[in-house]
Every structure is written in structure tokens, then in C-alpha cells.
Amino acid sequence: MPADIIQTSASTSSKSADALIEIDGVGKTFTGQDGENIIALEDTDLKIGRGEFLSIVGPSGCGKSTLLNLVAGLLETTRGEIRIDGEQVNGPYTDLGFAFQSDLLLDWRTVLRNVLLQCDMRGMDSKQHTGRARKLLKSVGLEGFEDKRPFELSGGMRQRVALCRALLLDPPMLLMDEPFGALDALTREQMQSDLLDMWQETQKTVLFITHSISEAVYLSDRIVVMSARPGKVREIIDVDIDRPRDLSVRDSAEFGAIVHRVRLLFQEMGVIH
Amino acid sequence: MAEKEAKKLSLWSANARGWHVDAFWMFLSLVIVLVLWEALVAVFGFPAHLLPRPLAVVYSVIDHWGTIVENAGDTTVAVMLGYVLAVVFAVPIAILIVISPQVERLLYPPLVATQSIPKIALAPLFIVWFGFGLETKVAVTFLICFFPIVVDTIVGLRSIDPSLIQLARSMGAPSSRVFLKLRLPGALPSMFGGLKVASALAVVGALTGEYIASDSGLGYILLSASGEMNTALLFGVLIVLSVLAMIFFYAIELLEKLLIPWHVSQRSHAQ
């Protein structure tokens, strides 16, 4: 295996020089129902550059989702602090788009109204954003579906609507918690390449959680590998594969090498035998 | 636009076809019951005070039509009042219980306790409190309808996906907005479950009230017909009663169709 392609970096990637998100010595401890303390996240330092696509992979219970919620300000850190744009996160940080594994579309709203939920939840006038909502839906191939109900759509289409909802107000960053985890393999590949196109065009900062190693390699600039119990950054791996990438990248030697590297880490941690 | 109209039309005809088919099967089962009933009486020669012939029941209803209509009105008033009162009290209480853990701890145990007492056992108390007549009927109806509505509303309000709340908070939504725009509409399907169960129970409640503390209503007519061994009238009133209960139930179901056409349970005809 060509060792020069794969290098483990400290938090000094070229992009992190201009960091949008700074995670500084962050720990999170939950108190369980029996009063027992559960350390979800320990001593985490991470800088995410402006416009960077960063994936987090790790076994279940490694605190990936906790980290995402801490960045969004939905949870309070037990130790350390998180800064976005230089300012400490204190309470919900709303200048972002969130996407989950479940599309969370509301059955009682049409597709268009689901995208506009973004406005309704913020108490904004949704009429002003109807045009952009339609344009976004068109861009993901859902023109003509605006007045349909979510149950009339396939899983992939539903997740596209959820993505439009996240993008409606053009936030500078996207937090994605296994957004494609529930999709079938083919739909998943399509969604990945659509997401890459969108990212390439808009240069948003993306924090992406996944269980799929190849998904992480295909999409990311860097991959954060986390270990479980307590959740900790195990290693940060640069993905030096040229952009723009298309699906054929997956067959390249360098792609395979990085996938292999991540898998080895999981084997070392005893996640895969 | 034209496409939309066409969709509406096809939906409508699908519904209409469903309705005709339903009506046909209902009619068929009615005919079978009547034929069996008539045959049973004819073959075994039951005396009229045990099992009157279907036709005798029809005649009896016609003979007593005025009385039946008048008393059916009384029963309906009791059912409606008790039911509406139950909804008016149960839904806000369920909301309070979901919003505040303190209220839950305060209200839930006594609520469950009153539920563990059979409603009929409370009836004598209601006679002391409310006297003979409408108030007691309404009280029994209210009490019997109350619990299923509270419980199903609570279940509905609690069954919101935690990720959805997370999403709403990441959009900066205050909890009042989360409640009104996400929790409440999401709770409607479960709430209607409770409302439908309660609609059937409401008739039971009113009848119970009439058995013990009334000189009007279909329950009272049933009792007096039984005392007079007027079995034909008994059967007649039972049939009228079941028709009333069915109308009430289907009215709630219609309301459900109108309010939550998007829910899984309402889609069968559309797809």
C-alpha cells in the first residue's frame, strides 16, 4: 500500500487555518436514571474549516450524535467550549441546516409546505421563500411534486425534500446525522453524488455522520474516526483525492487504500473482527 | 389544474364505489338476519313474549313512533352533553399533563383511581348530588367518556419523534410553536382513537343513567317495555338505539376523515 497517500494529520489541515467551527477540549457527561454518570464524549479537540466536508465515523455509542448536538447548541457541554465563527455557542445555534436519518417530513403538510417549515418554525413569513423553495425542489428533480403529500413519495424523494428544507435559508453549514442510512444502496449512491454536486457548488461547511466507511471517503475532505465508551477522537484522516469526484473514484487505488486504513482502525478498536 | 380535478374525480368515484359495496353487504347481512329470525320463530314456534316475529317488531315501532322519537331525543341530548363536556375537559387536562410533570404527578393518580371504580357504582352518588333526570345521565356519560379521551390524547401528544423536536429547536422554534405546529397535529390520529371509543361509550353512559335515574329516554322505555313483557317494543327500541349509536360513531369518523385525511388510517380508499 502506498504509504504516502495516507497520512494521519493532526488538526492542521490546509482548510482548518480558517476554522468555522472550533471544538475545544469538549466533554459531555450524561447522568443516567440511576444517577450513574455516563461519559458520552471526552476531551475532544477539532477544528472544522470553512467550506470543509468533514465526516465522523465510529461505532455506536461513540458520541457522534452528541457531538453534532453540542455543535448545534442543543446540548450543553460539560467541559470545554465550542465556537462558531469565533463566538461561543450558547443555546441553539440556528444559522445551520440539520438533516437526520429519518426525513421527519410532516404527513399533514404538502411537500412545499414541508420545505417551508423552516420559515414557520422561525416565525418568518413563508411567502417570501416560496420561490426559493420551488427552485430548490426543482433542482433535486421534484418539480411537479410540490403539492403532493410525503406518503406519496419514495424514500429517496422524501430525503431530498428534507435536504431542501435544510437548505431553504441558505445556511453556511449543514449538520447531517446519517442522512442516507435508511435508503437502499442505489438511491444512496445517487444521493451521495447529488450532495457532492450541491456542496461543490455552494461551498458549505458540512459535518456529516455516517456508519459507512466508503461513504465517508467518497464525500469528505477529512474523516474523524472515533472510538467508543467514552467517545473520543481516535484519528483524523485526510482524504487527498482530487475533486470534483464522481462515482468512478470508488474504483481507484487511493480510494481503496483509505477505506482500508479506516477499516484497520476499526479492527484495532475491536469494532470489526 | 385539470390533472388535479381528474385526481379529485377518481378519488371521489373510488369512494363512491366503496360506499355502494358497503351498502350492498350491509343490506345482505340484514336480509340474512331477518330471514333466519323469521325462520327460527316459524320452525320452533317461540311465544311472542320471548321472541317476536320481525314484522311484529316493525309494527310495534310504528305504533310507538311518537314516544320513541321523543325519548330518543332525550337520550341524544344526554349523550351529546356528556360527550361534549368530556371532550372540553379531557383535552385540556391531557395537554396540561403532557406539558407539566408536576400536573401529571398531581392529576394522574386520582384520575386512574376514579377510573378503577366501575361507573355504575357511582350512579347512586350522582342521584344524591344531581337528582333524578338529565344531570345524572350527563354525569355518568361524562365520566365514562372522559378517561379514554384523556389517555389517547396523552399518548398522541407524547408520540412525537424526539428528532423532530431537535430539528425544530435547531430552527430556533419556541416550545409553544413546537406544540401548536408539530405536537398537536401529530396527536390528532391518536386523539380520534379516543374520541371514537368514547362515542360508543357515551351511549352506554346515557343508558346507564336512564336505567337508574330517569323517567324518560330510550333506557327508560326499555325498562318499562321489559316490565310489561312487551318484547316486540324492546326489540324495536334496541334497533333504534343501535341506529342512533351508529350515526353518532360515523359522525365522529366523518369528522376524522375531514380533519386528518393525511393519516395512514384514512388512505385506504385513496390508494
Q: How far apart are CA A210 and CA A64, in angstroms?
A: 9
Q: List, for residues A60-112, the tens digit of each pLDDT value.
A: 878 898 999 999 999 999 999 999 998 999 999 999 999 999 999 999 999 99
Q: How far apart are CA B242 and CA B102, in angstroms?
A: 42
> Is B98 part of any domain?
yes
Q: List, for residues A162-183, the tens digit of each pLDDT value.
A: 999 999 999 999 999 999 998 9
In this structure, are B74 and B132 located in the same domain?
yes
**Nearest CB to A122: which of B163, B164, B171?**
B171
Between A and B, how many residue pairs show a Cβ–Cβ distance under 8 A? 55
Residues of B in contact with A149 (CB under 8 A): 262
> To which residue does cell 374525480 refer?
B9
> To which residue does cell 453549514 refer?
A173
For residue B226, CA distances in Å to A128, A208, B71 come to 69, 74, 16
In this structure, are B160 and B73 located in the same domain?
yes
In this structure, are B82 and B34 located in the same domain?
no
In this structure, are B26 and B156 located in the same domain?
no
Answer whether residue A5 shows pLDDT above 70: no
Q: List, for residues B214-234, the tens digit of each pLDDT value.
A: 889 999 999 999 999 999 999
Chain-chain contact of A120 with B170 (C-beta, under 8 angstroms): no
For residue B206, CA distances in Å to A46, B81, B136 come to 67, 10, 9
Q: Which three cell numbers stand for residue A127?
A: 411567502
Chain B: which residues have CB within 8 Å of chain A?
Answer: 4, 161, 163-164, 166-173, 177-178, 181-182, 185-186, 260, 262-264, 267
Chain-chain contact of A72 with B170 (C-beta, under 8 angstroms): yes
In this structure, are B90 and B162 located in the same domain?
yes
Gap from A78 CA to chain B (nearest CA, Å): 19
A243 touches chain B (CB under 8 A): no
Q: How far apart are CA B208 and CA B218, in angstroms?
A: 11
Average pLDDT, stretch A190-204? 92
Find out whether A83 and A24 touch, Cβ atoms under 8 Å: yes
In this structure, are B93 and B191 located in the same domain?
yes
> Is B270 part of any domain?
no
Find out whether B237 and B221 touch, Cβ atoms under 8 Å: yes
> Is B271 part of any domain?
no
Answer whether residue A271 shows pLDDT above 90: no
Residues of A in contact with B267 (CB under 8 A): 151
A149 touches chain B (CB under 8 A): yes
**Nearest CB to B163: which of A93, A100, A123?**
A100
Any residues with CB less than 8 A from the CB of B48 and at least 6 apart, and which?
B56, B231, B232
CATH number for the domain spanning B77: value is 1.10.3720.10
Q: How far apart are CA A25 and CA B268, in angstroms?
A: 54
In this structure, are B79 and B167 located in the same domain?
yes
Answer whether residue A32 shows pLDDT above 50: yes
In this structure, are B121 and B242 located in the same domain?
yes
The tally of CA atoms less than 13 A away on the side-chain side of residue B97 is 24
> Is B71 part of any domain?
yes
Gap from A258 CA to chain B (nearest CA, Å): 32
Provide the domain limits for residue B19.
Answer: 1-45
In this structure, are B59 and B41 located in the same domain?
no
pLDDT of A8 reads 43
Residues of B in contact with A104 (CB under 8 A): 161, 163-164, 167
Answer whether residue A9 shows pLDDT above 80: no
pLDDT band at A17 (very low <50, low <70, confident <90, very high): low
Average pLDDT, stretch A37-50? 91
Per the structure, how many domains does chain B have? 2
Residues of A in contact with B4 (CB under 8 A): 147
pLDDT of A3 reads 42
In this structure, are B202 and B160 located in the same domain?
yes
CA B69 to the chain's CA centroid: 20
Task: Describe the strand order of the beta sheet including A19-31 as a list of residue ranges.
Answer: A37-49, A19-31, A79-84, A87-88
Average pLDDT, stretch A115-142? 94
> Is B24 part of any domain?
yes
pLDDT of A4 reads 43
Q: Which residue has the higher pLDDT, A12 or B150?
A: B150
Find out whether A241 and A252 touch, Cβ atoms under 8 Å: yes
B-chain residue closest to A171, CA distance = B171
Specify the range with the lowest mean pLDDT, choosing from A181-190, A264-273, B163-172.
A264-273
Answer whether residue A10 shows pLDDT above 70: no
Q: How far apart are CA B233 and CA A135, in angstroms?
A: 68
> Is B135 part of any domain?
yes
> Is B67 part of any domain?
yes
pLDDT of B230 reads 92
Residues of A in contact with B263 (CB under 8 A): 107
pLDDT of B17 reads 58
Average pLDDT, stretch A197-202? 92
pLDDT of B270 reads 45
pLDDT of B15 reads 52
**Which helix H or strand E contains A40, and what residues bound it?**
strand A37-49
Above 0.90 for ipTM, yes or no? no
Domain extents in chain A: 104-170
Answer whether residue A213 shows pLDDT above 80: yes
> Is B94 part of any domain?
yes
Q: Which three cell numbers stand for residue B28?
A: 345482505
Which stretches of chain B score pLDDT less than 50?
A: 1-14, 270-271
Q: How far apart are CA A82 and CA A225, in angstroms?
A: 19
